[in-house]
Structure 1
């Protein structure tokens, strides 16, 4: 049975549809929200060979004029150079402001596609088909788009909401265990932010097979929480900052790992690092670090890194987009379901870490 999470914002409303048959209904689903037009389907070299031809076929059958666009897989494609290449293809194909872009892929493709859609001719229609667990539970919902600049992650971006998000757990079957599991870092994060009930659910996941089996339920709960937060704070001026739990340290770790760590892996490490420090300082209750670590260990996510505490690590924190005049808004948990912003100056961070 299809689950629909409705996102209702001041200037935009859209649905996140969750069902394991959506991959068979892409043309039908998109036809419900878009009239006939030119549609670019943006994907990468990992997802493209698996699903691009079928998506193009379905959209063409539904009356759309389809331009397939494939970019290299990985974080390196979140660059201004890639944006320029894709925009050139759209312009050469004659795309106008009445056309649209579909992001078919994981978090990188969603971020890149959303940024291109938001900036091409000052904005064209945008839809996400999330094929990774990271995208399904987190990055496809909320309207954040971004590309990186050199060693600074997500520093160039926009808030741009899609017209539709499709989440189908069938796509997860072709992910390697590592590619699947990295998305679980975001699930554990969300469960800790949300409630005891969701945190208990992640506590029941004891293997990668468990994760695969419960992926639709986990996606539904994570999306519902994120949608609630985004509807209350679309532009991250208040409680949406809670979603950065583990990310300030995690982004620094991810960038300094130079591709050796996936986003969700770095976030997992970041959550343990920040929670252990706040537990030490009495912000978080005793035992919370171990509770989170047990959930990450169950599926093989990393929980430590030698990068933390290096001079390069502290230098990277200066470039974090959440650095406000030398102050970082760190997210800690006073209990499960009760996140709190704790401000730390950059000069305090070496002693804190």
Structure 2
């Protein structure tokens, strides 16, 4: 088992990474929670694969668990779904001495985490991510949120879990598309902080070779994120580097109503576009965007910017959480493994973005 201690200012918590961990979850939860009631929030897809397994493991350890199953997909990261979850927590008479488990991908983790952070002003939370994207990124760091019609993650909070339990074997039920979706975030970590990881990813011959070492890859990504979160828990400085490719990526997702491109696919296009612009501005080493493009192609991720209405994208980005005062922070890379924050005055953002969307 790999383990990482995230030493956040609002409280430390462990991340455990182990093949087969889901079937031992009752025993592991017993080490950190001595109560009886557990509310498991999951989605319809994950429930089919793992719902009964987690219930059985928790019952064997003496817990009284219930499942709250929401519709799979980004649309569940909404206030409508949140209200449904609150109602079921009330029906189950959850109180602040009980615990909530988020079992699922990024949507479930974000939405259930936000529910935990706000219901009765805070219920303890455990994250059990089931997708690669959630295992390497969204389950770690305490960002929880729901979407608004005008943008992604616009209502949220920072709420650290009591623990994150990662079972890489759960990735075996992912389609190739959604495994590659998670690889978009893995590639991000290599691009911003770890060129050794980046070029190692280029050497895997096939999916089987990748999955054979996926636990080590997850550990590397989580270690990078944990170190950044410890420095900047509230996303005001160093942590913004984790948004590489995301400003443009979120706008693409929003433009297509979260239906055409997955998060990792949208971020992939964002990473290439912003890196290409960095080269044109003389801030990024020439050839870096080609390296980004090559690795995206290897993992069947899109890199070319789609046909899109520039004004709509710019409008979406104007609501981005990274807007601060009269400027906005864009994440660029100098070279593979070396990233930095570039502040752009709001009056120049349109011209800047038109350089990307072309």
Question: Which TM-score applies when normalising by structure 1?
Answer: 0.97
Structure 1 residue matching 2:213: 3-state secondary structure: helix
Task: Say if 2:46 and 2:104, in contact at 8 Å, map to a contact too.
Answer: yes
The equivalent of 1:300 in structure 2 is: 300
**1:210, 1:301 → 2: CA distance?**
18
Question: Is the 1:152–1:319 Cα contact (8 Å) retained in structure 2?
Answer: yes
- Does residue 125 in structure 1 map to residue 124 in structure 2? yes
Q: Give the CA deviation at 1:293.
A: 1.3
| Secondary structure of residue in 2 paired with 1:344 | strand
The answer on 1:187 being equivalent to 2:186 is yes
Q: Secondary structure at the match of 1:253?
A: helix
CA distance in 2, matches of 1:28, 1:141: 22
Residues 206 and 285 of structure 1, relative CA distance in 2, 3 Å threshold = farther
Is 1:20 the counterpart of 2:33? The answer is no
Task: Measure the CA separation in 1 of the matches of 2:188 and 2:148.
Answer: 26
Superposed displacement of residue 330, structure 1: 0.1
Q: What is the CA RMSD across the aligned residues, in angstroms?
A: 1.3
- Find the counterpart in structure 1 of residue 28 from structure 2: 29
Shift of 1:309: 6.1
- Of 324-333 and 88-97, more deviation after overlay is shown by 324-333
The question of whether the paired residues in 2 share the 8 Å contact of 1:9 and 1:234 is answered with yes
Kindly indicate whether residue 6 of structure 2 is the aligned counterpart of residue 3 of structure 1: no
Does the aligned pair in 1 maintain the 2:10–2:160 contact within 8 Å?
no
The equivalent of 1:319 in structure 2 is 319
**Does structure 1 residue 233 correspond to structure 2 residue 232?**
yes
Compared with structure 1, are the counterparts of its residues 205 and 279 closer, same or farther at alpha carbon in structure 2 (3 Å cutoff)?
farther
Counterpart contact for 1:307–1:313, Cα < 8 Å: no
Aligned residue number for residue 291 of structure 1: 291
Q: Is the partner of 1:283 in helix, strand or coil?
A: coil
Report the Cα offset of residue 337 of structure 1. Answer: 2.5
Whether the 8 Å CA contact 1:248–1:317 is kept in 2: the answer is yes
In 2: Cα distance, 1:71 partner to 1:147 partner: 14
- Residue 212 of structure 1 is matched in structure 2 by 211
Q: Distance in 2 between matches of 1:68 and 1:236?
A: 32
8 Å CA contact 1:256–1:307 kept in 2: the answer is no
Q: Is the contact made by 2:44 and 2:70 (CA closer than 8 Å) also made in structure 1?
A: yes
Contact 2:9 2:233 in 1 (8 A): no
Distance 1:216 1:209 in 2: 13
Shift of 1:206: 4.7
Shift in Å, 1:74: 0.6
Cα displacement (A) at 1:218? 1.3
Match of 1:66 in 2: 65
Match of 1:343 in 2: 343
More divergent stretch after superposition (288-297 vs 304-313): 304-313
152-161 or 28-37: bigger deviation: 28-37
CA 1:69–1:53 in structure 2 vs 1: closer, same or farther (change >3 Å)?
same
Equivalenced residues, count = 352
Within the alignment, does 1:136 sit opposite 2:129 as a pair? no
**2:252 maps to what in 1?**
253
- Contact 1:186–1:264 (8 Å) recurs in 2: yes
Q: Which residue of 2 aligns with 1:332?
A: 332
1:267 paired with 2:292, answer no
Q: Deviations over 1:218-273 (max 9, x none)?
A: 11110000000001111111100100100011100111122111001100000001
Write the distance in 1 (CA, Å) between the matches of 2:311 and 2:209.
39
Determine if the alignment matches structure 1 residue 221 to structure 2 residue 220: yes
- Structure 2 counterparts to residues 165-184 of structure 1, below 5 A: 165-184=164-183
- Worse overlay, 117-126 or 10-19: 10-19
TM-score normalised according to structure 2 size? 0.95
Unaligned runs of at least 5 residues, structure 1: none
* Equivalent residue, structure 1, for 2:103: 104
Measured in 2, the distance between the counterparts of 1:37 and 1:8 equals 27
Partner deviation per Cα, 1:173-195 (whole Å, 9 max, x = no partner): 00111111101000000011112
* In 2, Cα distance between equivalents of 1:168 and 1:195: 23
Deviation larger for 331-340 or 122-131: 331-340
Tell me if the contact between 1:137 and 1:223 (Cα under 8 Å) persists in the aligned partners. yes
Query: 1-side partners of 2:334 and 2:311: how far apart?
Result: 29
- CA distance in 2 between counterparts of 1:98 and 1:266 reads 39
1:8 shift after superposition? 1.2
Secondary structure class of the residue paired with 1:34 = coil
